Amino acid sequence: MDQIQWRPWYRKIIDTLGYDISEDERAAVILNQLLKGRNITLDEIKLRIKDQPTLIFGAGPSLEDDINRIAKTNLLDICRLITADGATTGLLKIAMKTPDIIVSDLDGRFEDLQEANNNGAFLVIHAHGDNIQELNKYVKELKNILGTTQVEPIGELYNFGGFTDGDRAVILAEVLNGKPLALVGMDLGEETGIFSKEHVPSPEVKKVKLRFCKDILEWQAANTTVNMYNLTGSGENIKGITRITPETFENIILNNNH
């Protein structure tokens, strides 16, 4: 998803949820300033994922069961691991695994984000108008960061497209040339998972965000040459992303000599 493709999505999101574009722009300026001397390059983060099979973990209600099913295979050892914010806690606590990359707007459990970061996880931190306080509070405590924005990128920031941590993580995995890709814990239904952010101001807003996530993922699936699969045990079907078992995904990887 390039800038031109992303703009209509962003406009629709702004119109639907009433966000303030100027606050998104202010957040981008703040994150860019905070990252001076702390950022990593896109080339550096690409080396983590390039040409490797990749699991992308969302914080949906099926995450715990999904991780336990995946742990019965070798996928956690043979794949690169990308977590969307709160899913980091699930991966650390259930699988005792540190992700290679965390995609976050810093509303997950900070202690777990920091633990994973200290253990080597790269962070892709997103700036938007609602997380300026978190940016100012937490960025200085972290390292190995790539910054993203949902408006025009400035300085060292990127805009790869995507709205929620989950769909941004999937888009990032393709940008970093992960292949094949598999989604985990991406239910995208009405129920909020225990590893999602602790405080949900409005369940109705959350539902709208998850619908946008699903729509963006379906757009992404229709506009990529990368094979994408869904290992999530329950929840919504995502058009263009075939739901398979962890064992089947492992066989796909082994048969493709990844």
Instruction: Give me the CATH number covering residue 219.
Output: 3.40.50
Which residues on neighbouring strands pair with residue 102, listed in sequence order?
A: 83, 123
- Summarize pLDDT for 141-183 with one digit per residue, the tens: 999 999 999 999 999 999 999 999 999 999 999 999 999 999 9
Q: What is the CA 210 to chain-centroid distance, rounded? A: 13
- Whole-number pLDDT of residue 258: 43
Rounded Cα–Cα distance for residues 68 and 26 (Å) = 41
- Letter for the amino acid at 22? S
Average pLDDT over residues 7-20: 95
Which two three-digit tokens encode residue 242? 């075939």
pLDDT digits (tens, 9 = 90+) for 201-222: 567 888 899 999 999 999 999 9
Dist CA 8 CA 26 (whole Å): 21
Query: What's the rounded Cα separation, in Å, for the pair 142 and 255?
Result: 39
Which helix (H) or strand (E) covers residue 122, if one does? strand 122-127
The residues, ordered by sequence, that sit 6+ positions from 97 with a Cβ below 8 Å of its Cβ are: 76, 81, 91
Q: Tell me which residue range forms the domain holding 106.
A: 3-255
- Cα(51)–Cα(35) distance, rounded to whole angstroms? 28
For the cut 90, the answer to whether the pLDDT of residue 40 exceeds it is yes
The count of structural domains within the chain is: 1
Under the banding of pLDDT at 50, 70 and 90, the label for residue 256 is: confident
- Which pairs with CB-CB distance under 8 Å and at least 24 residues apart come from 208-214? 208/16, 208/17, 209/17, 209/163, 209/164, 210/164, 212/9, 212/13, 212/16, 212/163, 212/164, 212/167, 213/163, 213/164, 213/166, 213/167, 213/188, 214/188, 214/238
Averaged confidence pLDDT in the chain: 93
